[in-house]
Amino acid sequence: MDTEFTFNSRRSPVVCLHGCVATSQPLASTVGLDILKRGGNAADAAVAIAAALAVTEPCSTGLGGDAFCLFYSADTGEIQGINGSGRTARAQTLDFMESRGFSTESPPSVFDALNVTVPGAAACWCDTKELFGSQKLSLQEILSGAVELAELGFPVAEVTAHHWADNVAALRDAGKKLGDDLLIDGHAPKSGQVFKNPALARTLKELGEHGKPGFYQGRVAKAIVDVISKDGGVMTLDDLRSHNSEVTTPISTEYKRARLWELPPNSQGLVALLLLNILENFPQLRATGHNSSDYIHVFVEAVRLAQTDGLCYLGDSAHTSIPLETLLDKSYSSQRAQLIIMDRAMEQTKPGPITASDTVYFCIIDSHGNACSFVNSTYMGFGTGLVPDGCGFSLQNRGANFSLHRGHINCIAGGKRSYHTIIPALLTDSVTKSQKPQQLLAALGVMGGFMQPQGHVQVLLNMMEFGMNPQQALDAPRVFVQYDQKSGQWFVNLEEGIEQEVAEELRRRGHKVNWPVTGHQRSQFGRGQIITVGDWWNPSATQASRLPRVLWAGSDPRADGCALGY
């Protein structure tokens, strides 16, 4: 590890041989590890964990939201993805929104039923199991751990209890009320209080028995449409029945000796790759010191450029042409990097010229070397807070990400997917397919809305540039570059642990800095998980001393979770 790195890691990484899971909730980690021990693979465990987190962290995730999956096959070295994001109701066109009196200047409330898009998580779970699973366990068996948690109850963890209460209060302040299925006597459960959700247990059982029809048709589908309709939405049973996931080819970029893989648009994984490509033009980054003023300055400016391009060019590829090849070309990022000046912040950022919230993240590597990187989200806390009768989950508000500006790439349309913040990631070596199957280096991710690509790159650089192990990489103080649409200004939020003189120097260069960010406010920096194959991040390890099959894992201290292995 770099001797200049002074931040003390709070716990050791988990090391194991035969399989590992890392999640934001210990009970969910236990459920996933149990699936691996019963003969399931990484994909099976991912579905089991997603369901367990839907029970234990409903203020971040659930069946009413979306899910994205990346899967690495140890047999072939191939990486495949599933885009499990839902679409708007077909009737929800821009003309319709304008007829309701909404506009760019006056959009609907983030909790409005019109922000509910078709929940894609259930289909993604089923497709993950069918396409990538071991086929040794049925969907009912995979979901049984989550069903048990929902039926028998579980003690609510401390960080989850805080966010649960915060999100209930936010809904109340907006004149909304969360459904009773997710409350105890009308209140959010307290830390340590046992919470049961028999309605969700019933829904999970129906999904396990009937698969996708058990969610997108019948009782659950009718309950979804009814609660949306009562609140002014226009989703129909046909919108739900016609939903399907999209199997995708991931996009990637090479950084030094590794290749980072992300899902293509409408996922914002593109932003993480753009950011990494820009930073590659600053080989002196490591020499400036971890979280130094120079390091953070370059990072912040690169985020502004990458995020600006993402907001301009990223949308649903089924509705528009996205110039991925041009954007990911190294020469394009080289041109963008030239806009960064070391002694002052850019006055404004514009998209480059081209010619063509709340969430859960978790990862698993199994005994065969397969890996699954998975994200599930209801977007902002409980999303809209709408709970279909007798179903035990709330409906997402992902539609709040749409633009109402006519002609914008992310403008709302019927049956369209919005700009999507959730992004799982995988890291492999940088060999070409003609040489040999690519070798997995890590499964990693950092949840947290627009923080996610920034989080991916920060923890990756912590390992690749500063030699941190997975736990240290997650423990280290982070930076969140935040764009305020109302003021048109960029803010730099610095977590506690970053030195005061760094904050002062960044202000001198023209950045609008919030420092220090402490306590539960640190949730804005995301909550990540990492599992690496071998200790390739360790600069003192020689080739002869490396143990490539040892799994090293870390879990973010900003959440309740842990990594477990066997």
Is the CA virtual torsion 517, 12, 445, 425 positive or negative? Answer: positive
Residues in the chain: 566
Report which secondary-structure segment, H or E, holds 16: strand 14-16
Is the CA virtual torsion 172, 515, 379, 470 positive or negative? Answer: negative
Do 454 and 481 form a contact (C-beta atoms < 8 A)? yes
Instruction: Mark whether 359 is an active-site residue.
Output: yes
Measured CA distances, 221 to 212, 382, 555 (Å) = 11, 19, 35
CA distance 329 to 352: 12
CA distance 81 to 248: 5
Is the CA virtual torsion 132, 22, 560, 494 positive or negative? Answer: negative
CA distance 273 to 290: 21
Residue 357's closest CA among 444, 468, 446? Answer: 446
Measured CA distances, 345 to 106, 123, 226, 336, 487 (Å) = 31, 44, 50, 14, 17
- Tokens 């649960």 -> residue: 164
What's the token pair of residue 215?
């969610």
Q: Which of 56, 253, 359, 428 is catalytic?
A: 359
Contacts of 341 (CB under 8 A, 6+ apart): none
CA distance 81 to 9: 33
What dihedral do alpha carbons 133, 134, 140, 144 form, nearest 10°? Answer: -100
The alpha-carbon radius of gyration of the chain (Å, integer) is 22
Bridge partners of 429, per DSSP, are 258
CA distance 324 to 411: 19
Helix (H/G/I), strand (E/B), else coil: 390: coil
Residues tagged active-site = 359
